[in-house]
Amino acid sequence: MWKRKDLLGIKELSADEINQILDQAVPMKDIIKRDIKKVPTLRGKSVINLFYEPSTRTRTSFELAGKYLSADTVNIAVSTSSVVKGETLIDTGKTIDVMGADIVVIRHQASGAPHLLAKHIKAKVINAGDGAHEHPTQALLDLFTIKEAKGAFEGLTVTILGDILHSRVARSNIWGLSKLGAKVRVAGPSTLMPPGIKEWGVEVYHRVEEALEGADVVNVLRLQLERQQKGLFPTIREYARQWGLNARRVALAKPGALVLHPGPMNRGVEISPDVADGLQSLITEQVTNGVAVRMAILYLMSGGGVADVPR
Amino acid sequence: MFLVKGGMLIDPAAGIKAVRDILLQDGRVVEIGEHLEIPEGAEVYDATGKLVTPGLIDVHVHLREPGLEAKETIASGTRAAAMGGFTAVCCMPNTNPVTDSLALVEAVQSIVRRDGAVRVFPIGSITKGSAGQELAEIGDMAQAGVRAVSDDGKPVSRAEIMRLALEYAKMFGVTVISHCEEQSLAGDGVMHYGPMSAMLGLKGIPAAAEEVMVARDIILAEASGARLHIAHISAKGSLELVRAAKARGVKVSCEVTPHHLSLSDEAVSGYSTSTKVNPPLRSLEHITALRQGLADGTIDCIATDHAPHTLEEKAVEFAAAPFGLVGLETAVPLILDMVRNNELDIERAVAALSSNPARIFGLPGGTLRPGSPADLTVIDPDLELVLKPEDLKSQGKNSPFLGMALIGFPVLTMVEGKVVMRDRNLLVD
Ligand SMILES: [Zn+2]
């Protein structure tokens, strides 16, 4: 049984809890593959997607996950332009709460916003990405994808490549992979590395070739191109040359190593098109798995147990 | 006449740490002695088992009035001070308007006369509107009694303006208080830059942001021979710079807040906005250095940087919340905690809370030698209270210590012979 009210981050989850979600995602993926992708499991439940940052991908994934399980899903896109001073997060949350929401999925540019919301509302809260803090459902779908392909995590070496400093995907992946027994390497320029990251039990590399040597999985992070204007690295061109994942670099990893990317990609910057579309890439599979994992999470958080897995 | 009987008197300026009776009359200390006779008609306060100190002085307080009365007023802020054992506070000029002229200093002083529960000494701004461009009327403000100027909250970014301010303020015997923060390094950081900020995904303010400006201002103070006071020192490196400067004879002093001594950046982990302060709560190595600096005398003063905000302002996302916490009513128990843990002498603690601020800023009080003002604080070192928002007299409830049991609270606050707080009750209307 799932015991938590909210899913705010991977850091506070146990390996058991992570595995519970990953296991539950297996039958969910079967549903997606069916011709008629609908089970009545969450009929009468409402899921609100409260998005303060535009993200078509994650929002659609959550929306479909809810719909496949027959939940009523509503999307709220909040304009975050600082010119229009809107309602506070707490007020918005309370409004949604009294309308009878069961689960609120929140994406917010401020780290900790889901925690603030969760403290003030009765509905369950799922963090769909908060600032540079965590993106638990992305990490869970990455873990699911790795598990599907590799079977287990013990003995695996996973290299996370790119802008670690600003990446919530990196943080959630680091916690999740470490808890499940994989070895984690992070690689990127020192100006895009968080302070004290060595204390997180990861290996830090500044040369991409070394970071890839012998890796079983490479998870390439999306580069926010505007970081260049802040002086964090000299040019996009140099970034692509120094840190971009290309076929020559993939060849340094273990044969059959997996390539992941949370999307959307900057082709030709952090990842070359041939690698993105290559045989080792599981990037499109990640998208499918994203829906399955989110179905599993919605299901577990709504009180579903392993015993009554919908078949 | 008022007799404080049987308390443990801690008067570092007079070199006294002993059980003494203190007789006060007409706003002055009359006599100190063992077993003084009770004069006829004198009111007696039995301070047996309690600490008696010269009135505590907080040189860094935001009273918010005029202009920001939703956060705090001079009435509410000085009542919070009285509850906290403070008989005098220096209020920062970042009100609306900024206290940058004689007229505005006098305006604050007149509200204090009407509403103040304790002594209030306004600090003027360094530059007009604290905009960092042109010097404020420091000379005029000095004539109205201003002893220090500061652009607190808006660090003077141009070194040349700081140099001029130090040169100019020196003529009037005015101390320049510097909130040291190099803004290109601090950026839009919201907590200490380090493993915790990285983990929480919050932008960090590196210790270097403070240290760089402490170095700059010490160099400028040394060159001009002016008096510089570093506000709310928080970084290990800053402390080393001050220590070295003092050894060279630079006229520099500094203060530390109780929260920088007692809380680390780990306190931010739940994203509670009452832990969002500037400078930020630092990591353990900085805290250890600060405690050492206070114990060895490198740090002169303990000041709260009392910074009240409304509930609404703080009930937002961490990054969107304003900086600051309320400190007046929790300073004494937090500092006594260090004394109980043998990390700090009680004499050193009282010096940092009373005699040093009085000496550095030329304020009345700081000692209970006969003839001194009857500004006095009695502390019950064993009184344990669970901090509740409704008990705080400050309008600001933004304390990270809410719900915690703290030990050692003031039980008597006397200002110029008038008891303003007794047994945790305010005696001013
Ligand atoms: Zn300040």
Question: SS3 sequence, B122-180?
Answer: ECECCEHHHCCCCECCHHHHHHCCCCEEECCCCCCCCHHHHHHHHHHHHHCCCEEEECC
3-class DSSP state of A88: coil
Does B33 contact A at CB distance below 8 Å? no
Burial of B41 by CB count in 10 Å (0-12 exposed, 13-18 middle, 19+ buried)? exposed
Averaged over A30-37, what is the pLDDT? 93
Whether residue A182 contacts residue A17, with contact meaning beta carbons closer than 8 Å, is answered with no
* Residue of A116, A133, A199 with shortest CB distance to B200: A133
Which residue of chain B is at minimal alpha-carbon distance from A175? B199
Whether residue B123 contacts residue B151, with contact meaning beta carbons closer than 8 Å, is answered with no
Which residue of chain B is at minimal alpha-carbon distance from A131? B201
Averaged over B25-42, what is the pLDDT? 95
Instruction: In whole angstroms, give the CA distance from residue A144 to residue A137.
Output: 10
Distances, alpha carbon B51 to alpha carbons A129, B14, B65, B409, in Å: 52, 15, 33, 10
Chain A residues touching B193 at Cβ < 8 A: 195
Chain B residues touching A11 at Cβ < 8 A: 199
Cis peptide before A54 (omega within 30 of 0): no
Which residue of chain B is at minimal alpha-carbon distance from A112? B271
* pLDDT, tens digit, 9 for 90 and up, residues B180-221: 999 999 999 999 999 999 999 999 999 999 999 999 999 999
Residue B405, min C-alpha distance to chain A (Å): 23
Residue B283, min C-alpha distance to chain A (Å): 12
Active site includes B305? yes
Mutate to test the interface with A, among B190, B191, B200, B314 (most CBs of A within 10 A): B200
Chain B residues touching A130 at Cβ < 8 A: 201
Whether residue A196 and residue B194 make contact (CB cut-off 8 A), yes or no, is yes
Whether residue B290 contacts residue B233, with contact meaning beta carbons closer than 8 Å, is answered with yes
Does B202 contact A at CB distance below 8 Å? yes
Q: Which pLDDT belongs to residue A1?
A: 80
Mutate to test the interface with B, among A52, A85, A116, A197 (most CBs of B within 10 A): A116
Instruction: In whole angstroms, give the CA distance from residue B258 to residue B232.
Output: 10
Q: Which two tokens stand for residue B288?
A: 């250890």
Instruction: In whole angstroms, give the CA distance from residue A178 to residue B98.
Output: 52
Whether residue A133 and residue B197 make contact (CB cut-off 8 A), yes or no, is no
* Residue of B194, B315, B317 with shortest CB distance to A112: B317
Q: Which pLDDT belongs to residue A306?
A: 45
Chain B residues touching A110 at Cβ < 8 A: 317-320
Mutate to test the interface with B, among A111, A174, A191 (most CBs of B within 10 A): A111
Residue A306, min C-alpha distance to chain B (Å): 31
Which residue of chain A is at minimal alpha-carbon distance from B194? A195
Give B229 Cα–ligand 1 centroid separation in angstroms: 12
Chain A residues touching B320 at Cβ < 8 A: 110
Whether residue B315 and residue A90 make contact (CB cut-off 8 A), yes or no, is yes
Averaged over B137-155, what is the pLDDT? 97
Q: Are strands B405-415 and B376-386 parallel, antiparallel or unpaired?
A: antiparallel
* pLDDT, tens digit, 9 for 90 and up, residues B334-343: 999 999 999 9
Q: Which pLDDT belongs to residue A310?
A: 52
Using pLDDT thresholds of 50, 70 and 90, give the confidence band for residue A305. Answer: low
Which residue of chain A is at minimal alpha-carbon distance from B192? A195
Instruction: In whole angstroms, give the CA distance from residue B161 to residue B128.
Output: 11
Q: Which pLDDT belongs to residue A83?
A: 47
Q: Which pLDDT belongs to residue A308?
A: 52
Give B132 Cα–ligand 1 centroid separation in angstroms: 15
**Angle CA A124–A126–A128, to nearest 5:** 160
Does A249 contact B at CB distance below 8 Å? no
Q: CB count, 10 Å around CB of B28?
A: 14
Chain A residues touching B198 at Cβ < 8 A: 165, 194-197
- Assess whether pLDDT exceeds 70 at residue B104: yes
Averaged over A131-139, what is the pLDDT? 97
Instruction: In whole angstroms, give the CA distance from residue A260 to residue A239.
Output: 19
Give, to the nearest 10 degrees, the angle between helix A15-33 and helix A283-301.
110
- Assess whether pLDDT exceeds 70 at residue A85: no
Share of chain B above pLDDT 70, in %: 100
* pLDDT, tens digit, 9 for 90 and up, residues A92-102: 999 999 999 99
Residue A138, min C-alpha distance to chain B (Å): 16
Instruction: In whole angstroms, give the CA distance from residue A230 to residue B184.
Output: 12
What Rg do the C-alpha atoms of chain B give, in angstroms?
A: 20
Beta strand spans in B358-404 (E): 376-386
Chain A residues touching B195 at Cβ < 8 A: 194-197, 199-200
Our CA dihedral for A13, B314, B59, B380, rounded to 10 degrees, sits at: -70
Q: Which of B305, B380, B382, B423 is catalytic?
A: B305
Q: Which pLDDT belongs to residue B375?
A: 98
Q: Which pLDDT belongs to residue A227?
A: 83
Residue A256, min C-alpha distance to chain B (Å): 32
Averaged over A130-155, what is the pLDDT? 97
**CB contacts < 8 A (A, B):** 65
* pLDDT, tens digit, 9 for 90 and up, residues B354-410: 999 999 999 999 999 999 999 999 999 999 999 999 999 999 999 999 999 999 999
Residues 255-284 of B with CB under 8 A from A: 270-271
Q: Which pLDDT belongs to residue A226?
A: 83
Note the pTM of the prediction, 2 decimals. 0.94
Does A216 contact B at CB distance below 8 Å? no
Q: CB count, 10 Å around CB of B212?
A: 20
Residue A134, min C-alpha distance to chain B (Å): 8
Whether residue B202 and residue A131 make contact (CB cut-off 8 A), yes or no, is yes
Q: Are strands B301-302 and A124-130 parallel, antiparallel or unpaired?
A: unpaired
Distances, alpha carbon A275 to alpha carbons A158, A269, B375, in Å: 17, 12, 76
Average of per-residue pLDDT values in chain B: 97
Our CA dihedral for B217, B220, B221, B225, rounded to 10 degrees, sits at: 180
Q: Which pLDDT belongs to residue A81?
A: 52
Residue B349, min C-alpha distance to chain A (Å): 34
Chain A residues touching B312 at Cβ < 8 A: 88
* pLDDT, tens digit, 9 for 90 and up, residues A44-75: 999 999 999 989 999 999 999 999 999 999 99
Give B400 Cα–ligand 1 centroid separation in angstroms: 18
Give B201 Cα–ligand 1 centroid separation in angstroms: 24
Give B153 Cα–ligand 1 centroid separation in angstroms: 5
Q: Which pLDDT belongs to residue A80?
A: 62
Using pLDDT thresholds of 50, 70 and 90, give the confidence band for residue A31. Answer: very high
CA B309 from centroid of its chain's CA atoms: 17
Q: Which pLDDT belongs to residue B139?
A: 97
Does A226 contact B at CB distance below 8 Å? no
Whether residue A302 contacts residue A103, with contact meaning beta carbons closer than 8 Å, is answered with yes
Q: Which pLDDT belongs to residue B182?
A: 97
